[in-house]
Amino acid sequence: MADSRPDITISAISRQARRQLAAAGVETPEIDARILVGHAVGLNRAGLIAESTRAVSDIEAEAIARLVARRAGGEPVGRILGRREFWGLEFSLGPDTLEPRPDTETVVEAALDAVAGKSEPLRILDLGTGTGCLLIALLSELPTAWGLGVDISTGAVRTARSNAAALGLSARATFAVTDWTQPLAGGGRDSAFGLIVANPPYITTSACRSLQRDVAYWDPDRALDGGADGLDAYRAIFSDIGRLLSADGVLVVEVGHDQAVAVERLAVGHGLLCRSVRRDLGGIDRALVFGPA
């Protein structure tokens, strides 16, 4: 058994970690300290409370010190742990994937509302799948649905496929490497998709240079950079969506905080009609729901 330090309890080392992260300018030092300490000692939030007076072993203390130092240096918690929760599910991350964030759950909510009441089996297409979080979250809620996730990155597709397997959804989730909609088939009654979702890169190239270090240093550039005006990916998606979306299908896309009007204008120009706009928890227009005009 590893030696313990009777004078350092889980509670004490958690406070120490919290102070260190706060001093480093971390925005959520209490939450991050709790997650990192819990990971090192193998306890969830309830366990940390129940065992707050337990002594920390030397090995645990050293592990906590390494984790906290990485976070203080700017590495996001999700990257440190190699995983991130999304829609109540745990997703492994990779160097070629974005770290899923709570705002993107708005896309899942909007998509589920848009297809509610449909009884026929649903075919879902996830463009720029990354970790697979959108497709997998939707499949977890729609037991008769099948989905295809595509990404230009081989590494991202590998990660998404692994996440689907870990969550028991491999039988209903397929992944492929392709640049947006090319060379996907579509347009026929049996091949079109009833639901298409996308969280494309939408940050302008100039703004990418001034992103917070948690994002800029750790999320892949091509999953962030949407071109000079942030709309390049939407143009690519909308230009080819007609042959992929079924006659009564729904397209749901995530947009940046000031892009809803511009994205809707682009979509209308390609024969789509905006059915609804869903706001995230911060009150920002985050998910646009389109259907054929």
> What domains, with CATH codes, occur in the chain?
4-73 (1.10.8.10), 86-292 (3.40.50.150)
Tell me the mean pLDDT in the region 255-273. 97
Q: What is the pTM of this model?
A: 0.92
pLDDT at residue number 23: 98
Is the pLDDT confidence value at 34 over 50?
yes
Whether the bond between 183 and the residue before it is cis, its omega within 30 degrees of 0, is yes
CA angle 69, 215, 100 (to 5 degrees): 100
Contact partners, residue 248, CB within 8 Å, separation at least 6: 194, 291, 292
pLDDT at residue number 186: 53
Which DSSP string do the residues of 86-104 spell out, in sequence order? ETTEEEE--TTSPPP-GGG
Rg (CA), the chain: 21
Asked if 252 contacts 195 with a C-beta cutoff of 8 angstroms, the reply is yes
